[in-house]
A and B are shown apart, each in its own frame.
Chain A
Amino acid sequence: MGLVEIATGKVLSSFSVFLFLTVLLLVVARRISTSVLLFSVQSAIIAAGVFATGFQERLAEAYVVGALVLLIKVIVIPRAFFSLVERLKTSRDVKAWTTPTQSVFIAAAMIYLSYAAVHSYGQAVNVPEDSLAAAVALILTGAFLMVSRKKALMQMLGLLVLENGIFLAALTTTFGMPLVIEIGIFFDILIGLLLMGIFTFRIRETFDHLDVSKLRRLRG
């Protein structure tokens, strides 16, 4: 058994644990830059998972997808975020509605919930329960970050984490969708982030802050 095989096995057997770790760290992170870094690490773990799956299942397409994840989610998006944070000159605090302690408990509850949710489906579709649970946990965490953080940038990050979860779900259940569709989805995410970036500048210009919780003019 060569080194690559061993590495592949290790990655596949342990990457959901690392993903749960990023989830727990993400909800307690107090600074935007830390959260972005954690997102980057999380995407790198997912990219490793893609490569390992591709190697194990002998899927050439998976390498392309893995390279895309590495390029876009590990390098391009975090860099864009850092430059946004710098150019917006906003405070670094994520401004959460919940305290870190509460957040950890909520995250733990969400991980438990993910296992409970995938339990019945995991056996039916014959996929590793851990990675499917990790996917659901990422989706829930993303949604939680979106509703519990007041900064516009953190809402974007929550969306990205949620999207990571959906991507992971597709990967673990079906080894990914057809390549053309994957590329289209990546393209959409990039454009979406670009637009959200434009909007954060506009919010800052028109409201002079980035606190989305204060955008409450439109009601009813």
Chain B
Amino acid sequence: MILLLPLLIALLGAFLLLGFQNPRVATRFALCVGGLEIASLAALVWRVHVDGALQVGRYLRADGLSSFFLVNIAFISGLVLVYASGYLPLAGKGRFSSPRWFYALVFLFLFTMVSVCLSANLGLLWIMMEGTTLASALLVGFYNTEGAVEAGWKYLMVCTVGIAFALFGTIVLYLAAVKAGMNPAAALDWVALMDAVPRMGFDPHLVKLAFVFVIVGYGTKIGFVPMHSWLPDAHAEAPTPISALLSAVLLNCAMYAVMRYDAIVSHATGPAFSHTLLLIFGGMSMVVAGLLILVQRNLKRLLAYSSVEHMGIIAIGLGLGGPLGLFGAMLHTFNHSVAKSLLFFSAGNVRHNFGTLRMESITGMSRSLPQTSAALVVGGLAIVGLPPFSLFISEFAILSEAFSQARYFVAALVLIVISVVFGGFAYHFLHMLSGEPHGAPENAKLIPSEYMVMGIAVLCLTFFGARIPHLFGVFVQEAMVVLR
């Protein structure tokens, strides 16, 4: 029951929200549903922590890995909902014609993402992953401007085709399992697969073929280069709360799917094949995104490319494997989410005050918008991986793993890209912060909802940078145990 609760609340909430015509009532109701959703997720995570894995029927299951990603979903979606409650009224009447549709779609989107994490069956996982695309496509195109419609169409087409490849990969894995003698009814069950793979002698060619298709398919949703073309458009054109959700939650959910497959393939054929592929995709994403960061003109596109780069870092952590590499990758999914949502929230505020996101026409922010600037600076320092903040810890863990495995090429690549990205962020941010202010209201303060979510994000980044809370560390460990 406790497993079904988060799913039911999100789904019911989405449908009930459509009944509220009044924007203010709809917003309040959405916050209530969000609160319930987070509480139910927290209860579920706690149950999994205390009692171990939970299973309902044949298709739903929560274990340590799922609950780690559920923590991520709950935390970020809470921030996003609070932020959205203040953002929508400011965004102007023409742009947010109907908050109830917005919130209903947000909850549908949440429902699909929670379902991805709770799927015990790889087929259901695929269905729900496609569901995330469908639920969010209308949100990406929500503004109905030329750019938004184009981005929405591109997002829908690219991700649907990409995910069709993942379906093919799923089928190939199913074929390998059935051929190895597994019961067809259980051949897509993740636990049964993990159990059967070491002893039943799966055809290694088929398993590898399956992983290639899966990493291309789900990699499209993660935003691996060269399948990343939808990502900057969707992030830049979506309403800001949605950009934060896409970048901080959706990409992680897709990464979660790849982790599950990586574990199966590593057990079947040894880790060399899948880990090499992860390193290649991770390396390509880092290098290409790192270079593209330098030439961006739009603040949200800059942040989107930075997401591609960080997904690359996470893939490299997974590809290196080993206790520290995996630990760093896990931690980095969470840390990146927090830092990136902080940056998107600030970008939303910049958009309100300057009416544009073109970085060349924004100057003098440090004087006209001191609070937003502070948030942007903290987020920027955190995202490039500087020491007082938590991303430093996770990147450091991944780098130490690379050094301890004597993979100096990987380590050098990561270090070089991180320095290039640092240069890019410093250049763009200094340009926006310094100079004579123009075009913005004098000393505009943050509204309470913005102040609150940005404050929480900053606290979290600093606190996790100083030391990882004990309970959170336990969650990471429990997630890592599942994959081993």
Contact = CB atoms under 8 A, between A and B. Distances in A.
Contact of A166 (B133, B150, B154, B167): B167
A217 B146 CA distance: 8
Q: Chain B: interface residue count, which band?
A: 35 or more
A195 B205 contact: no
Contacts of A124: 203, 205-206
B343 interface: no
Given A215-B150, A217-B146, A218-B147, A181 B121 contact: yes
B168 interface: yes
A173 B175 contact: yes
Interface stretch (B9-17, B124-132, B260-268): B124-132
Given A125-B175, A152-B153, A192-B156, A178 B168 contact: no
A199 B146 CA distance: 12
Which residue among A121, A139, A178, A218 has the maximum number of chain B CB atoms within 10 Å of its CB? A218
B134 A166 contact: no
B230 to A, nearest CB: 10
Interface in A164-220: 166, 169-170, 173-174, 177-178, 180-181, 184-185, 187-188, 191-192, 195-196, 198-199, 202-203, 206-207, 212, 215, 217-218, 220
Q: From DSSP, what is the main secondary structure of chain A's interface residues?
A: helix
B52 interface: no
B164 A166 contact: yes
Interface stretch (A4-12, A20-28, A85-93, A155-163): A155-163
Interface in B126-184: 126-127, 130-131, 133-134, 137-138, 141, 144-147, 149-154, 156-157, 160-161, 164, 167-168, 171-172, 174-175, 178-179, 184
A159 B157 contact: yes
B309 interface: no
Nearest to B297: A220
B123 interface: yes
Interface in B30-45: none
B233 interface: yes
Contacts of A203: 149-150, 153
A60 B233 CA distance: 46
Nearest to B301: A220
A133 interface: no
Given A166-B171, A199-B152, 14 more contacts: A121-B205, A146-B161, A159-B160, A166-B164, A166-B167, A177-B123, A181-B127, A184-B127, A187-B127, A188-B130, A191-B131, A199-B141, A206-B149, A218-B151
Interface of A: 121, 124-125, 139, 143, 146, 152, 155, 159, 162-163, 166, 169-170, 173-174, 177-178, 180-181, 184-185, 187-188, 191-192, 195-196, 198-199, 202-203, 206-207, 212, 215, 217-218, 220
Interface of B: 59, 121, 123-124, 126-127, 130-131, 133-134, 137-138, 141, 144-147, 149-154, 156-157, 160-161, 164, 167-168, 171-172, 174-175, 178-179, 184-185, 188, 203, 205-206, 209, 232-233, 236-237, 292, 295-296, 301
